[in-house]
Amino acid sequence: MRLLRLIYCVVVLFISAAALTQPTEAATPTTKITVQPVVSPSPGCHSDWCEKVRTLAAVVRWADRSLIAAKHEHSPLRQDLAGIVRASRDEGISPFFLLSIAGKESTFGRAACGYNAWGWNSCKGDDFTSFVDGARKVAHSLRVNYLGKWGLRTIEAVGNTYCGSRCGADWSYYVRLFMDDIFHAGDGLRWQDAVAVVRAR
């Protein structure tokens, strides 16, 4: 009888220990990420506003499907994709360019410094409050400084300034690779370039 009780206790302890060591669903890399959809206007609406919303929704779908097809479905950027694309549009920057920078700098947000998925300021002293906020601030600087004040027109020119002369070539190689192979977006850096890609498909 004493031996049976001892065996029972050992079995219970073994089962309890095994249960405690099992990873939770939140900790696994297979946790599903939900993309916030853009609600399209009714088919009967043909105003400029409705067309802008439809265009935004089409670009978001393109970006999301591209990330999934490239096996980046667990990117945390996907849950804020609509906001990131909207921020890009508001600054006139291609969201495919902005996302490709995040791909190079943080594996599409999976190795981000907080909400800094763009390696901005070498992850020092940024005050991004969300991925959307980060996207808006980086896109703003790309428009005002890189494409504006400094007149940069190519991925390579941006890379040599964004990353510096020592790593600019490597940076540019991967950003261009992601734009081509993941988003099939060519090398256009502006919003209208992204729209043209989506409308042509």
Kindly state the percentage of the chain with pLDDT values over 70.
81
Tokens, residue 134: 């980060």
Q: How far apart are CA 94 and CA 190, in angstroms?
A: 4
Per-residue pLDDT at 31 exceeds 70: no
Region 34-53: what's the mean pLDDT?
79
Is 66 contained in some domain?
Answer: yes
Tokens, residue 38: 């853009």
CA–CA distances in Å: residue 12 to residues 3, 16, 83: 14, 6, 50
Is 83 contained in some domain?
Answer: yes
Q: What is the CA radius of gyration of the chain?
A: 22
Per-residue pLDDT at 4 exceeds 80: no
Q: Compute the CA torsion angle 136, 141, 144, 148 (nearest 10 deg).
A: -120
Per-residue pLDDT at 8 exceeds 90: no
Indicate the pLDDT class of residue 33, thresholds 50, 70 and 90.
low
Tokens, residue 86: 């909207």
Is 16 contained in some domain?
Answer: no
More confident of the two residues 25 and 121: 121
**Average per-residue pLDDT in the chain?**
85
Number of structural domains (the chain) is 1
Beta carbons of 84 and 95 less than 8 angstroms apart: yes
Q: What is the pLDDT of residues 139-177, one digit of tens each?
A: 999 999 999 999 999 999 999 999 998 999 999 999 999
Is 7 contained in some domain?
Answer: no
Q: How far apart are CA 149 and CA 87, in angstroms?
A: 20
What pLDDT score does 5 carry? Answer: 45
Q: How far apart are CA 101 and CA 108, in angstroms?
A: 8
More confident of the two residues 24 and 165: 165
Is 191 contained in some domain?
Answer: yes
More confident of the two residues 20 and 115: 115
Is 10 contained in some domain?
Answer: no
For 10, which DSSP code?
A: H
Is 18 contained in some domain?
Answer: no
Q: How far apart are CA 178 and CA 77, in angstroms?
A: 15
Per-residue pLDDT at 6 exceeds 50: no
What pLDDT score does 2 carry? Answer: 46
More confident of the two residues 16 and 110: 110
Q: Which of 94, 100, 67, 81 lies closest to 38 in space, CA to CA?
A: 81
What pLDDT score does 27 carry? Answer: 33
Write down the pTM of the prediction: 0.81
Range of the domain at 142: 35-200
CA–CA distances in Å: residue 19 to residues 9, 27, 83, 133: 16, 15, 39, 40
